[in-house]
């Protein structure tokens, strides 16, 4: 396993854990994931934003997370700009 794959697995686990901590119906800013993983300095967490987006999309495809824009679920393959992540609604 490469260092990037290991990092991605760690970020995915952290993302799911933070989303679970938020609870159902609540969302998480992706920068919270980056800061929790790399620390509060922007030079440390900033470069993680593209990998975090890619990981969020993959988890959304697996049905483990939902990507939201303006409070509404979006297609993980077709969204732009600021987004949030949360757990899928369980009914």
Residue-wise pLDDT tens digits, 75-88: 999 999 999 999 99
For position 24, what pLDDT does the model report? 85
For position 13, what pLDDT does the model report? 98
Maximum distance among all Cα pairs of the chain, rounded to whole angstroms: 40
For position 51, what pLDDT does the model report? 97
Residue ranges in the chain whose pLDDT is less than 70:
90-91
User: Could you say which architecture CATH assigns to the domain 3-85?
Assistant: Orthogonal Bundle (1.10)
Let me know the angle formed at the C-alpha of 24 by 39 and 80, rounded to the nearest 5 degrees.
60
């Amino acid at each position: 396993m490469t260092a990037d794959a290991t990092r991605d697995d760690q970020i995915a686990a952290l993302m799911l854990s933070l989303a679970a901590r938020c609870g159902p119906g609540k969302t998480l800013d992706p920068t919270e994931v980056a800061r929790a993983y790399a620390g509060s300095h922007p030079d440390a967490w900033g470069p993680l934003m593209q990998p975090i987006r890619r990981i969020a999309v993959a988890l959304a495809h697996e049905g483990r997370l939902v990507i939201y824009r303006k409070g509404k679920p979006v297609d993980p393959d077709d969204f732009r700009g600021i987004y949030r992540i949360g757990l899928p609604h369980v009914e």
